[in-house]
Structure 1
Amino acid sequence: MDEIVVVGQVARDLVLVVDEVPGPGGTTPVRERRELLGGKGANIAVGLAQLGAPVALVGVVGDDDTGARLIARAAADGIATGAVVRRPGTETGLILDLVADGRRYLEHLPEAVLLREDDLPLDLIAGAAAVVVQLQQPPEVALRAARAARGRVVLDGFPERLRDDLLACADVVRADHREAELLTGRTIETAGDAVAAARELLALGPDLVAFAVDDVGNVVAWDSDELVLPLGDVEVADTTGGGDSFVAALTFALVRGESPGEAARRAVEASGDTVAHLGGRPTLTAP
């Protein structure tokens, strides 16, 4: 399989499990703690590497010890890290996932850990079989990456600007429920709503659109068909990273030449495997 490039966020992911969140001045013990290579871009790259794809990561960390450790962890996971920028004078991003009676995120993601246009390795991107562009990056940077690609372009998320320009470059679009509503300007409450919204986006350029819909599952549409795929009988421990594993498995399967339906089913299975444990790090296995 040819290389897949992931353009996206890299951060330290700290997961804390508590019985309850204390009020002001309160204290509560932490029942479980995990520290991981995280950020949506890194999570997608890890999933691709676990599935057996050659994968390179494009992102930014600080020039601190945490950044060095995350790059070393990614390399140990089998990810090419030569295009990960170490920004001088910058702290590496931190994402705190607090798990109690639900999930709460605290994020420290300084502007300096976002990609800039001159950070992009355009030759690497142009030579990839597929490029996953994670849209938490500045839209201008995402668009330059998408336009540089010669292989399949997978967009993940919702851009603040340049929506139509990005969609025109895309082969695949994946969004969670909130992002899907922002992308389409529609209220999505049912599978039928999601299919209609997805078909609206297909008319703007992509070949496949996948939406996660609360209380429904995953809705995947392409030119000739669509599928509504519930997550299945999975005991959800933490939803963090479920979408990232979905994107990794979907991209992997499409690059391997699997049909849209086969790729969608593989993606849902991968998402289910990830949300069954704490933290966003995938635990996927090669087919």
Structure 2
Amino acid sequence: MSEPITVVGQLARDLVLVLDGDLPPTGSSGRVRERREQLGGKGANQAVALAQLGARPLLVAVAGDDAAGDALLAQARTDGIDVSAVVRRAGVPTGLIVELLRERNRWRYLEHLPDEVQLSAADIAAADRAFAGAAAVLVQLQQPEAAALAAARRARDAGALVVLDGAPPPAIRAEILALADVVRADAQETRLLTGKPGDDPAAALALLERGPRVVALAFDEGNRFAWRGPGPDTETLTLPLGDTAVVDTTGGGDAFIAALTVALLRGDPVPEAARLAVAASGATVGHVSGRPDLRGLA
């Protein structure tokens, strides 16, 4: 794939602590069985997955001007990610996400992601290279609404495949869904968008009517896909979760959306793209931390 895929989202330092047993009571200490420090945040996770699937990811995100930012950007370059559009915010510490993971996928996040490490509309306006010639633009809707909407508009103007990850807030929902080609939402986000669970056929159909041509909605037992066919009909597919024992769901959705995008761009039929997306997610949730390992999957 010669054209880059732009990812608009979060970059952060991930600190994953695997605990033995429950959290310690107040005023006491507990044992950490395993510790990982790595490049993370939803934007970086998606960009890593894209690179492992053979794409050329370009990341639009914010890092501080600290040593942590230096280290994360160095790791991103090693991973094959173009970080030329990452903003270095002066006087700001790079974002931090701490995951406390217990057995059986029982996790808690502690996040230090202040406004200064979120993207602004001005950051999007300055990122000309990130949109010119992009094959697709992945927009994470956890970013401020002004930045997300600006990114979707620029992607549409550039003729890129516009992929939305999450539930847009009400103020921009109608416009940004109309700009989208692909929408991915987890179970909670699906309820926010439609008031229905992801396995309800009406949920996906309702979203298709608002603009996208492919919708992927998660629910507890799997994923439901709906897309516009070559004629007036809408087609649907429900895929169960894979057989992989879930260790940590962190990053599963990021791997899913990266794989779905790569497959659609190379012209795979939606059912094949859907199966690759589910396989990528399954390959990620079977190990600790959100960092994917998708080499050889595509």
Which bracket does the TM-score occupy, shorter chain normalised? over 0.9
For residues 54-69 of structure 1, the aligned pairs below 5 Å read 54-69=56-71
Matched, 1:151 2:160: yes
Whether the aligned pair in 1 keeps the contact of 2:65 and 2:93 (CA below 8 Å) is: yes
Q: TM-score, normalised by structure 2?
A: 0.92
**CA-to-aligned-CA distance 1:31-61 (integer Å, 9 cap, x gap):** 0001110000100000000001011000001
Q: Across the two proteins, how many residue pairs are aligned to each other?
A: 282
Q: Who is 1:233 aligned against?
A: 243
Match of 1:115 among 110, 114, 119: 119
User: Quick one: distance in 2 between partners of 1:265 and 1:155?
Assistant: 19
One-letter amino acid of the structure 2 residue matched with residue 170 of structure 1: A
Whether the aligned pair in 2 keeps the contact of 1:122 and 1:148 (CA below 8 Å) is: no
One-letter amino acid of the structure 2 residue matched with residue 83 of structure 1: A
User: Quick one: distance in 1 between partners of 2:147 and 2:109?
Assistant: 25
For residues 198-217 of structure 1, the aligned pairs below 5 Å read 198-214=204-220, 216-217=221-222
Q: Who is 1:43 aligned against?
A: 45
Runs of 4+ in 1 over 4 A off after TM superposition: none
For residues 235-250 of structure 1, the aligned pairs below 5 Å read 235-250=245-260
Structure 2 residue ranges without an equivalent (≥5): 229-233
Whether the aligned pair in 1 keeps the contact of 2:89 and 2:117 (CA below 8 Å) is: yes
**How far has the Cα of 1:123 moved from its partner?**
4.2
Q: Who is 1:9 aligned against?
A: 10
Q: Who is 1:266 aligned against?
A: 276
Whether the aligned pair in 1 keeps the contact of 2:250 and 2:290 (CA below 8 Å) is: yes
SS at match of 2:32: coil
**CA-to-aligned-CA distance 1:153-191 (integer Å, 9 cap, x gap):** 00001122301111010000001100111112x131x72
Q: Who is 2:80 aligned against?
A: 78
User: Quick one: distance in 1 between partners of 2:120 and 2:29?
Assistant: 40
User: Quick one: distance in 1 between partners of 2:59 and 2:6?
Assistant: 6
One-letter amino acid of the structure 2 residue matched with residue 52 of structure 1: G
User: Quick one: distance in 1 between partners of 2:28 and 2:235?
Assistant: 53
Q: TM-score, normalised by structure 1?
A: 0.96
* Greater mean deviation of Cα atoms: 69-78 or 123-132: 123-132
User: Quick one: distance in 1 between partners of 2:121 and 2:238?
Assistant: 37
SS at match of 1:206: coil
User: Quick one: distance in 2 between partners of 1:220 and 1:69?
Assistant: 38
Percent sequence identity is 58
**How far has the Cα of 1:7 moved from its partner?**
0.4
**How far has the Cα of 1:254 moved from its partner?**
0.5
User: Quick one: distance in 2 between partners of 1:233 and 1:7?
Assistant: 31
Superposition RMSD in Å? 1.1
**How far has the Cα of 1:209 moved from its partner?**
0.6
**CA-to-aligned-CA distance 1:236-277 (integer Å, 9 cap, x gap):** 110000000000000010111111111000000000000000
**CA-to-aligned-CA distance 1:219-240 (integer Å, 9 cap, x gap):** 1111231111111211111000
SS at match of 2:61: strand
Q: Who is 1:221 aligned against?
A: 226
One-letter amino acid of the structure 2 residue matched with residue 5 of structure 1: T
Whether the aligned pair in 1 keeps the contact of 2:10 and 2:143 (CA below 8 Å) is: yes
User: Quick one: distance in 1 between partners of 2:261 and 2:145?
Assistant: 21
User: Quick one: distance in 1 between partners of 2:225 and 2:36?
Assistant: 33
User: Quick one: distance in 2 between partners of 1:157 and 1:62?
Assistant: 25
